[in-house]
């Protein structure tokens, strides 16, 4: 397809965690279609390999990597594998996450640690290590995929909302620490009709209390992701870009 120069990603290497499905998959496809070579990382290697084949069919290089995005040893191994293959990462998307619903008084320590690990501890490790390499090299760009749950009251998923709020704070701090060579931004996603939405009641799948009034279709994350990933956002860093259909955040 013709590529708008603002969204031209030709020649960059993008690493997307949770890249084999949902919003991560949509971003992998969009980046590859605009010229990026892509590392597809998630826990299930076979799913990563399927998406990598789609990327190769678009004429781009692809590397599937098995990654436990909460475990620092797995993260460090992923970094070594990617740099061994490509020599650099130009764009990192911290997209892997989990949001189990449970009354707060029933949350176990194991569940709390798992949510915080995948949504914040792991992304911190990956972003901080790659940001340092970017800073020591030619620079780069990091997108942390967060949630409207970090900005509004969200009962029964308190560890999730709290971990995403920490991710938002991390974005601002890393942008200050590794700028100006490294830009770091948050893509704050609202409700999207990804795999997780299959368990939602039909009313929730059709209507959301927001300005647009409905959940997002997965492909509707693409333009916001391309804005943050591309030269179009060259003066944007430390920002939270809401892609949530104008949810009533203050309520």
**Residues involved in catalysis:** 160
Kindly calculate the radius of gyration of the chain based on its CA atoms and give it in whole angstroms: 17
Q: Which of 16, 69, 63, 11 is nearest to 225 (CA)?
A: 16
Q: ∠ CA 215-185-56 to the nearest 5 degrees?
A: 75
Cβ distance 203 to 161 under 8 Å?
A: no
DSSP state, residue 244: S
Task: Give the sheet arrangement for strand 62-66, strand by strand.
Answer: 62-66, 37-42, 13-17, 91-94, 140-147, 182-189, 240-243
Cβ distance 190 to 150 under 8 Å?
A: no
Q: 22: helix, coil or strand?
A: helix
């Amino acid at each position: 397809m013709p590529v708008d120069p603002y969204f031209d990603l030709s020649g960059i290497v993008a690493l997307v965690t949770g890249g084999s499905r949902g919003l991560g998959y949509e971003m992998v496809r969009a980046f590859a279609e605009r010229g990026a070579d892509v590392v597809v990382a998630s826990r299930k290697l076979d799913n990563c390999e399927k998406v990598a084949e789609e990327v190769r069919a678009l004429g781009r290089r692809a590397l599937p990597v098995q990654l436990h995005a909460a475990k620092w040893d797995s993260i460090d191994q992923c970094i070594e594998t990617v740099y061994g293959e490509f020599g650099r990462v130009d764009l990192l998307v911290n997209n892997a996450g989990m949001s189990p619903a449970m009354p707060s008084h029933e949350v176990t320590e194991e569940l709390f640690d798992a949510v915080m690990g995948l949504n914040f501890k792991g992304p911190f490790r990956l972003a901080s290590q790659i940001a340092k390499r970017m800073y020591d090299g030619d620079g780069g760009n990091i997108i942390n995929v967060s949630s409207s749950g970090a900005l509004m009251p969200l009962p029964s998923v308190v560890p999730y909302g709290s971990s995403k709020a920490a991710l938002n704070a991390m974005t601002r701090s890393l942008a200050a620490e590794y700028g100006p060579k490294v830009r770091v931004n948050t893509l704050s996603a609202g409700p999207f009709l990804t795999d997780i939405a299959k368990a939602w009641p039909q009313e929730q799948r059709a209507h959301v209390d927001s300005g647009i009034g409905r959940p997002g279709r997965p492909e509707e994350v693409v333009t916001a992701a391309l804005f943050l990933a591309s030269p179009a956002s060259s003066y944007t860093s430390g920002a939270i870009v809401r892609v949530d259909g104008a949810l009533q955040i203050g309520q």
